Structure 1
Amino acid sequence: MACPNSTSDNSGSLLQDAQNEIISIANAVAEFDPVILFSSSETFNMVQSRVHTNVSVFCTEETSHLWVRDFGPIFVRSRHDQSVSAVNFNFNYWGNKRAPSGDERIADIASQEILGAATIRAGIIAEGGGMEIDGEGTFMAAESALVNDNRNPGKTRTQIEAELSRLLGVTKFLWVAGEVGKETTDCHIDALARFIRPGVVLLSKPSPEGAGKYGAAYEDARKRLSEQTDANGRSLQLFDSVEPDLRKLPRVSEGENCVASYVNFLMVNGGVIIPRFGDEERDQGALELFKTLYPDRRVVQVLINALPLIGGGIHCATQQVPALN
């Protein structure tokens, strides 16, 4: 994880709220797994004094944004010897929508200096939030966030698939359209559709009180995925999680990049960390749905309002690391 500082795009109470939510998420994850939390010197003492004992705070001045899912490394295991390597997907600030501020170096710092994993340099540009994998060879993504000249100019979808297969070992691609330019990420899949397990997908359904950023993307994704099979030939079982009513959320609806999606969750060892936004009815509905989908895991909700306002959620703010031994 990473704690944002004043060189990010946010300031004042919004920055403070985002920092508080990062600490809350880290502490929730720490009940299940150890956490490495990147922090610049600006926030180090504050963060260090407030985190769970299972959270290790690593000080590096490269840290400015909180979206470590996108600029951090993606970890992979070798088929041959089970060694762990880290893929650097050449983060370019979501298609050059932000000026570089150091976070582009975090992937190498995380893999080499902290975890001692070898780095693999990708031949394409991508963000972790734009890719979803079922663990059995099936890859899911929105074309808008990958087959886009702001990331991969001149590259065809076939060329991008070949590189993803080389790096991630995937064999079947489920592409949805997504939506270009509605918010910074150009429709990351982790706020739209996620694998619960192989063959089971959870979709973020726009609120009937007013569609969020991905209304057209949801309709397209549901249609396409209902007609697809995964790498093992299974038809996909689809579930919907209805987004909160933004009118009930403190200031969330004000954000240009506002994304309030329950599917932006994180699986941890023995548990699932999901968002709570402040719409009590939808929050409770999401909790009950996740308990049904994950009967053998403890489901924990963490209140977030700053993160969705600036464009993401719990999954966006975290990056899992496989066991290194």
Structure 2
Amino acid sequence: MTDASTDTHSWHQPAETTPHQCTFMAVPNSTSAHGGELLHDAQSEIINIANAIAEFEPLLLFSSLETLDDVQSKVHKNVSVLHAEETSHLWIRDFGPIFVKSPDGKAVRGINFNFNYWGNKRMPSGDESLARIGAQRITGTLPLGTTLVAEGGGMDVDGEGTFLSAESAVVNNNQNPGKTRAEIETELSRLLGVKKFLWLAGENGKDTTDRHVDALARFVSPGNVVLSRPSPENPGRYVAAYEDAKARLVNATDAQGRPLVLHDCTEPDSGKLENVADGDIIASYVNFLAVNGGVIILRFGDEERDAEALALFQKLYPDRKVVQVYINALPRIGGGLHCATQQVPAAS
């Protein structure tokens, strides 16, 4: 087993819509940032999401001993529960490995992006080890090394050389102090096969992640981007980030020179959601996951907006089955479905 930090092989991150061999998730426990009924509800939602994904592809679910027996009794037969005592939080998109493929598609490797708990906003609790554990589980080797600190939720690619992110979450002194944007781009190009960078402003300090792009703007296919439009009734904290993203992307082109087509997806009215006192939550339909033959999107409890989102994604993915999963706890603690998952591309 060798450390791949000096690996010179050429890699690229495929689009999320390409075939998966499986998806990773993690069950939070009492060492995470939340407890009581909120933690219990988040655990239930993780199991519901895992079971929905398992209808389409294998699901590998990390669990500590604290939750192991309960989880094993509730999951779909296509879910493999993996004991890893390092498991604490549920946000495996951020602390798990990011998987890339070789140019011929025959080799898959994980990358360890040196998770530092969102710029040291939380105390280390073990999750930083899951990039190594997850990569070894899939590939049998240590993950590719890098000096960059980044989270998967802060980056999106179209699989054809275009990278989308908010500067606030990557070109950031609590993540990559002293590194210029050009230096960061050079390393991301090496690791992800990126040829063109589309940078949004994002917003520093508005949430733990400094505005991850996977709840703001996502590629649904090459040349098509879906934007999370704040609710007119209760717009919340991210109006400036949305307006900036729209202004920057409306005339943008991708790595292949195609103009981007933008699709707005309006967020739910937080006043219609259970257990929400104000608009200060992350409730974004853009936080979806493409799976083999399907797309898993969210339902929040605003029936009108939930239906609008379903219709939009059915239009955007006419050849896939679109499934909605209800969540309430995850938006209240800062994320959604995409944040809680990490796909593993299939080798060719």
Q: Does 1:306 align with 2:321?
A: no
Q: Which amino acid aligns with 1:312?
A: G
2:176 is aligned, of 134, 149, 152, to 152
Match of 2:273 among 249, 258, 266: 249
- Structure 1 residue 210, shift from structure 2 partner: 1.8
Does residue 1:238 correspond to 2:238, yes or no? no
CA contact (8 A) 1:264 1:314 kept: yes
1:122 Cα deviation after fit? 1.7
Per-residue deviation, 1:254:
5.3
Task: Structure 2: state its 5+ residue gaps.
Answer: 1-24
Aligned-pair CA distance for 1:39? 0.2
| Aligned partner of 2:186 among 162, 184, 189 | 162
Equivalent in the alignment of 2:294 = 271
User: Deviation at 1:213?
Assistant: 2.6
> Are positions 1:32 and 2:56 aligned together?
yes
Change (3 A) 1:130 1:253: farther
Q: Percent identity?
A: 67
Which residue of 306, 310, 313 maps to 1:287? 310
Letter in 1 for 2:35: S
1:80-91 aligned within 5 A: 82-91=106-115
Q: Which residue of 2 aligns with 1:141?
A: 165
Instruction: Compute the displacement of 1:207 (Å).
Output: 0.3
Q: Summarize deviations over 1:199-249 as a string: whole Å, max 9, x none.
A: 000000000012123110000000000121000000000000000000111
Q: Which has the higher contact order (CA 8 A, sep 6+)?
A: 2
Q: How high is the TM-score relative to the length of structure 1?
A: 0.98
Q: Write the deviation string for residues 63-97 of structure 1: whole angstroms up to 9, x where unpaired.
A: 00000000000000112563111000000000000
Is the contact made by 2:93 and 2:340 (CA closer than 8 Å) also made in structure 1?
Answer: yes
The verdict on how the C-alpha distance between 1:302 and 1:265 changes in structure 2, with shifts beyond 3 A counting, is same
Q: Quick one: structure 1 residues 213 and 40, their matched pair in 2 at CA, closer, same or farther if it must change by over 3 Å?
A: same
Is residue 2:199 matched to residue 1:175? yes
Aligned length: 324
Equivalent in the alignment of 1:2: 26
- Return the alpha-carbon distance in structure 1 between the equivalents of residues 309 and 152 of structure 2: 24
Identify the match of residue 44 of structure 2 among 15, 20, 36: 20
User: Which deviates more from structure 2 when the two are superposed, residues 64-73 or residues 111-120?
Assistant: 111-120
Query: 3-state SS of the aligned residue for 1:252?
Result: coil
Q: Which amino acid aligns with 1:287?
A: L
Q: Note if 1:11 corresponds to 2:35.
A: yes
Partners of 1:82 and 1:213 in 2: CA distance: 43
| Distance in 2 separating the partners of 1:242 and 1:144 | 23
SS in 2 for 1:273: strand
On the 8 A contact 1:183/1:213 being kept in 2, the answer is no
- In 2 relative to 1, CA 113–291 (structure 1 residues): closer, same or farther, beyond 3 Å? closer
Aligned partners of 2:124, 2:263: CA distance in 1, in Å?
A: 38
What is the TM-score when the length of structure 2 is the normalising length?
Answer: 0.91
Q: Which moved more, 1:106-115 or 1:209-218?
A: 106-115
For the aligned residue pairs, the C-alpha RMSD in angstroms reads 1.2
Aligned to 2:249, the other structure's residue is in SS state: helix
Checking the alignment, whether the CA contact within 8 Å between 2:93 and 2:153 is kept in structure 1 is yes
- Structure 2 equivalent of residue 59 of structure 1: 83
- The aligned counterpart of 2:73 is 49
5+ long unaligned stretches in structure 1: none
What is the rounded CA distance, in whole Å, between the counterparts of 1:121 and 1:252 in structure 2? Answer: 41
Q: In the alignment, residue 283 of structure 1 is paired with which amino acid?
A: D
Matched, 1:120 2:144: yes
Please report how far the alpha carbon of residue 123 of structure 1 lies from its aligned counterpart in structure 2 after TM superposition. 1.8
Which position in structure 2 is the counterpart of 1:129? 153
Amino acid at match of 1:239: H
3-state SS of paired residue (1:216)? helix
CA contact (8 A) 1:255 1:309 kept: no
Asked if the contact 2:270–2:279 (Cα under 8 Å) also holds between the matched residues in 1, the reply is no
